Structure 1
Amino acid sequence: MPHPTNFFLPQYQSALGTVVHATPLVELLKRSLPQARVVVASSGLAEQVWQENPHLERLLHTPNPLHDPVGAVRALRAARMFVGERYVTLLTTGNERTKITLAAALAGRSRRIGFAVHGALVQQHLAFDSAQSQIENNLRLLAAAGVPRDPAWPTEPRLYPGSADRAFAETLLQDVRRPRIALATQTSPTQRKSWSQERWVELAQRLRSLYGAELVFIGAPAETEAIDVLRAKISCSTTSAAGRTSIPQLAAVLKQCDLGIMLDTGPLHVARGVNLPAVIIAPAWSPVHEWLPVGHPRYRILKNADFPAPAPDDYIIDEVSVGDVLAATSDLLATARPAASEEGRTPES
């Protein structure tokens, strides 16, 4: 039986990590089947992640089916994907919402494979395997679709900031010396992934004194005020990109840095998508394999305690010290090449 060649991916995730962790699926799909045609339909934050992705034939902007299901179906049908040819719909993690599945079903006749709340709405239903990472769960879709995969191929996520995004980053950082260390210090309070403000301040000042590092704070618009409060307590000058970037612009900024020190939060996944080495301050309650790059030489994961979720309401990551972060930073800076030397390199070269 011949392999399918036309593939449609609805991408309407609300969590940044779930979108970024879908990108290896498309890259490996095209690597396995160079003749494959891949269409992604998306909106909002998720659409930003897929911009400039060279593995797509088309990136369709549509209304989000969760907010406007009728408008989404109309836009998908009007797009005339694959012009009447057979195609396969791949439903990745984060898109297992009934309105998204129904929109995919009403967009056109396709074989639907993947994660769904109601298995009857897909021809091949996959249940999330909590023993595997988000990326590996998505890559199970290849086998389900009959697409061969070489297990030796790299499976890192990838973002592709465009020329305007790169120009934005160069302007923002033009007066910022190297080494540039990106700091992602904020996360949702409901996720219990924070590190104390006092430790961030101590770490920032030690990074400047030990390495002469220039510190670049990143974060969402809602985090800008908290980041500014933190920066005011640091005795050395810093730069903030918080609240000033789209996702592609953030990717471009991180690509211009030499190292990241980050909580387990959305910007970390963007940093991973542009090959930025990073020290990750991880919470004790979260399974490390689900979201984080376990065993990858470009990362140091500091998870110094382990207990099952849910975390206590007053939990912060006290078990990771400033000394732990500095030791991991020294290790990575000794082996990592400056970001500028990575320009023009292939993702895993």
Structure 2
Amino acid sequence: MNNKVTIRDVAKAAGVSPSTVSRAFSMPGRVSPATTKRIFQVADELGYHEIPVESRPSSGHKGLVAIIVPDMTNQFFSDIVRSVQQECARQGMGLLVSESCESASMERVAFDRAVYYADGVILASSRMPDSMIRKCAQVKPVVVTNRVIRGVSSVITDVSQGMKQTAAHLKGLGFDRLTYLDGPAHSWSAGMCWNELTQACAEEGLKIKRFWPGVPTYEGGFQMARDYLKNPTGAVVAYNDMMALGFIAAMRKNGYECPRDYSIIGIDDDIVGRLAWPALTSIHRSTRLLGSQAARTLLARFTNGDVGTPVQSTPTRLVIRESTGPRSS
């Protein structure tokens, strides 16, 4: 971080007023997305990192960890928070939780506020660009989950095995093509899931159609059913369980049931998917391992200076339930 770069320098380079720069960092909803993006890009290029003078972090140990998640209503992230909390409690640390609402600008603001109070920060499935995350890591120890950033410690889920099992399962049920309901355009894990699924399908000789980008929510999955019905493939894989459940609801509204009329597989293996009717076949990702490993990695960073392995991974596996069945005639 370059302390000599001021907010006026950023404003001049971005062609806006200093007050606009200030609003972009403190109240991003009041600045247009295009202007906010330009300001953040200029700030990164100049080495400016907005932390109010009265809130600059001290070097003293505070006994507090911060975690920033995109969506607290998503069980995947709430489970990560819970596992981080448990690991922090075991090591006598407190936890500060913030939500970015899937917004890179809000995530940046949350980080700038959290670093004053916390010894380190976990960014869960960060929506910020790589360069911005690296700038954050220069301020305080940072660990990211479900994302690989050069020079920053990462803990990811290796979806390759789960995707291979998914493709083999659908092929065994008689399907020769499938539709993938993809996630957000700015999600690193969405790109990795797509790459691994396409490779797995190629190995099994399955054709794949992609709906992208998508909103990783129940509503997002619900909305995709209409386009799917224009050219159905019989088999569907969703970016997460909530999208799969929304898709099932929309299909049911149109008179289609799984696995009678189609088969569907989610990703995450959430409790809501297990309790759904029919119970959802899903790729299991261990949020417990993901969160606890991220917490241990971060705590080791500022307690004994241990940088550890740059990228650590946790495995995945397919859990077969009632939402998949033999291809209907």
Q: Tell me the TM-score normalized by structure 1.
A: 0.35
TM-score, structure 2 length as denominator?
0.36
Q: Which has the higher helix share?
A: 2
